[in-house]
């Protein structure tokens, strides 16, 4: 994959003061006022940023072929709708970090099973993704302050946004860990977290930053795409239960789904590429099922399927 096409090379847009302004508008004038101000900016950005616009249209065109019943197309109308959904997700991030998301705003599926798992005294890995809004999952710690959450991110492309959010959030139960790759050092760092019964959230749907060879080709929405091996290797090293987590916006509510993925992932030293592909394909199919539920909430704005670059 050409370096210029990698998702980490997508430059951060906007300035620190503009993000502070968005937060100010939200806190003082409410969500609707922020939408009226923010939507035109996002649509303008969609028109001027050709690579991101093309990535969105490529995804929408794949949906049109793979799931024609959705009646979604890669034209300007649906492209704008896709980006407006992204704008709403950014506003939801602001709400999550500001503590403005309350328990009545969130609906959980599988939460009781996850809590029961944590009560056994060992932590759990949650495979997240760039479908929906993973930031809202931080609200879990607001509703149960006995749960500690560790979020692994590579946020080179979002340092300004995270800086603003950390300034307004006083949620000490959430620990953001910046990593450039998932490796043995990462596993050592997180082993104490798991032993202490904490949650570790890691996105399992983007190629690693530094090592493009640690990926596996699987089928996703009807075509081959590269998924990272790192999160799955990490889970096997930590020897803990694995769940998937998806937070979707459905009928005005945040709906968080926790699904059991594996008791313990076990990979031998002689594990074949086929073994790895099978487990990652299982995850990709799980992601795909949720993606088809809320297709406009897929926010991977890079050339996800171009595996030959």
pTM of the model: 0.86
- Is 245 in contact with 256 (CB distance < 8 Å)? yes
Q: What is the pLDDT of residues 106-154, one digit of tens each?
A: 899 999 999 899 989 899 999 999 999 887 776 666 666 778 888 887 6
Query: What residue segments make up the domains of the chain, in order of their start?
Result: 3-297
Share above pLDDT 70 across residues of the chain, in percent, rounded to a whole number: 78
Question: Is the pLDDT confidence value at 268 over 80?
Answer: no
97: pLDDT confidence band, cut at 50, 70 and 90? confident
Query: What percent of the chain is helix, strand and coil (3-state, nearest 5)?
Result: 50, 20, 30
Q: Regarding predicted confidence, which is higher, 102 or 282? A: 282
CA–CA separation, 44 vs 39, rounded Å? 9
pLDDT at site 158 = 43
pLDDT at site 18 = 67
Residue 308's nearest CA partner among 209, 229, 225 is: 225
Average of per-residue pLDDT across 284-295: 97
Question: Alpha-carbon torsion 8, 9, 14, 15, what sign?
Answer: positive
- Domain 3-297 - what CATH class? alpha beta
pLDDT at site 309 = 52
pLDDT at site 68 = 96
pLDDT at site 215 = 87
């Amino acid at each position: 994959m050409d370096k210029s096409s990698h998702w980490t090379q997508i430059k951060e847009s906007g300035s620190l003061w503009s993000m502070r302004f968005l937060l100010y508008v939200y806190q003082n004038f409410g969500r609707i006022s922020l939408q009226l101000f923010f939507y035109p900016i996002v649509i303008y950005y969609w028109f001027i940023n050709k690579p991101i616009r093309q990535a969105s249209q490529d995804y929408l065109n794949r949906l049109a072929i793979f799931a024609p019943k959705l009646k979604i197309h890669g034209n300007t109308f649906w492209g704008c709708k896709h980006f407006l959904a992204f704008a709403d997700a950014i506003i939801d991030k602001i709400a999550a970090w500001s503590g403005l998301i309350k328990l009545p705003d969130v609906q959980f599926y599988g939460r009781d099973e996850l809590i029961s798992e944590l009560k056994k005294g060992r932590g759990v890995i949650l495979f997240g993704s760039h479908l929906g809004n993973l930031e809202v999952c931080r609200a879990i710690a607001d509703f149960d302050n006995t749960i500690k959450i560790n979020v692994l991110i590579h946020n080179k492309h979002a340092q300004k946004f995270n800086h603003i959010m950390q300034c307004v959030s006083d949620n000490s139960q959430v620990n953001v860990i910046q990593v450039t790759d998932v490796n043995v050092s990462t596993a050592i760092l997180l082993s104490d977290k798991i032993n202490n019964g904490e949650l570790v959230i890691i996105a399992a749907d983007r190629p690693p930053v530094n090592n493009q060879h640690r990926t596996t080709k699987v089928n996703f929405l009807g075509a081959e795409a590269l998924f990272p091996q790192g999160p799955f290797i990490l889970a096997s090293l930590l020897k803990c239960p694995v769940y998937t987590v998806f937070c979707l916006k459905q009928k005005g509510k945040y709906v968080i789904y926790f699904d059991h993925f594996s008791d313990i992932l076990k990979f031998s030293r002689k594990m074949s590429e086929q073994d790895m592909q099978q487990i990652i394909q299982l995850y990709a199919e799980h992601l795909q099922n949720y993606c088809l539920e809320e297709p406009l909430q897929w926010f991977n704005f890079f050339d996800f399927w171009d595996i030959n670059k």
